[in-house]
A and B are shown apart, each in its own frame.
Chain A
Amino acid sequence: GENVEQHPSTLSVQEGDSAVIKCTYSDSASNYFPWYKQELGKGPQLIIDIRSNVGEKKDQRIAVTLNKTAKHFSLHITETQPEDSAVYFCAAGYNTDKLIFGTGTRLQVFP
């Protein structure tokens, strides 16, 4: 079955710097790769997603890149702000039933 590895587990950056979180997946059939943000005490919220027919997708300060050959995808946050502090999860899945999640990255943005 699918296995998703996520790095780093914690990431501290200064406000205004960029943050990059990386994930690798094992099942070459996976074709959907969402990213979720989880704030303290809340459920995860979808922030951006990408499908395997696209190499990059951007939404304001957030971008996701996908390398199908290497089976890895990354989340890029530019001009980080304190409100970006949260736990971020990547996930991978195929057309059918379910997503498999990475173990999460705790991002801290210091003012």
Chain B
Amino acid sequence: NAGVTQTPKFRILKIGQSMTLQCTQDMNHNYMYWYRQDPGMGLKLIYYSVGAGITDKGEVPNGYNVSRSTTEDFPLRLELAAPSQTSVYFCASTRNMGQGLKGYTFGSGTRLTVV
């Protein structure tokens, strides 16, 4: 049971490049989330998904896209990278069966620098 696995751990992108941050979980969690954490700041929700085929915007979705074709995977796509997207990205998941929110399990993060 690996929990939430994020790849890569580090990445440097040039302005205008694109990339996909991978996130996979093996806990059969139905809810998955992407947060970004800027230096010295809290966690801002980018996108989330309540199940395969369903995604929704969070607080800061501009410049990102997601898809959820399987229960396990929730990739985050950056198109036309900008310096403002320099951040640490965390993927998280939880099981929510309609009986209330439960604590999230977070991945170890992807540190992205756009130069």
**Chain A residues in contact with chain B, CB under 8 A?**
6, 31-32, 34, 36, 41-46, 49, 51, 89, 93-104
Cross-chain contact B56 with A44 (CB below 8 angstroms): no
Interface membership of B101, Cβ < 8 A: yes
Q: Is the CB of A95 within 8 A of B42?
A: no
CA distance A43 to B103 in the complex (A): 13
Q: How far is the CB of B9 from chain A (nearest CB, A)?
A: 10
Known: A51-B100, A98-B58. A89 touches B106 (CB 8 A): no
A43 to B36 CA separation, bound complex (whole angstroms) = 11
Q: Interface-forming stretch among B13-21, B43-51, B67-75?
A: B43-51
A44 to B106: give the CA distance in the assembly, Å.
6
Tell which of B42, B58, B106, B107 touches A103, judged by Cβ atoms closer than 8 Å: B42
Considering only residues 1-44 of chain B, those with a C-beta below 8 Å from chain A are: 4, 31, 33, 35, 41-43
29 A–B pairs (Cβ distance < 8 Å), ordered by A: A6-B42, A32-B100, A34-B103, A41-B108, A41-B109, A42-B109, A43-B4, A43-B107, A44-B90, A44-B104, A44-B106, A46-B103, A46-B105, A89-B42, A95-B100, A95-B101, A96-B101, A97-B31, A97-B48, A97-B50, A97-B96, A98-B48, A98-B58, A99-B101, A101-B42, A101-B43, A102-B42, A103-B41, A104-B42
Interface residues on B, range: 20 to 34
Q: Are A97 and B56 in contact (CB under 8 A)?
A: yes
List B contacts of A103 (CB < 8 A): 41-42
Which residues in B have their C-beta under 8 angstroms from that of A43?
4, 90, 92, 106-109
Nearest B residue (CB) for A32: B101
B41 near A104: Cβ-Cβ < 8 Å: yes
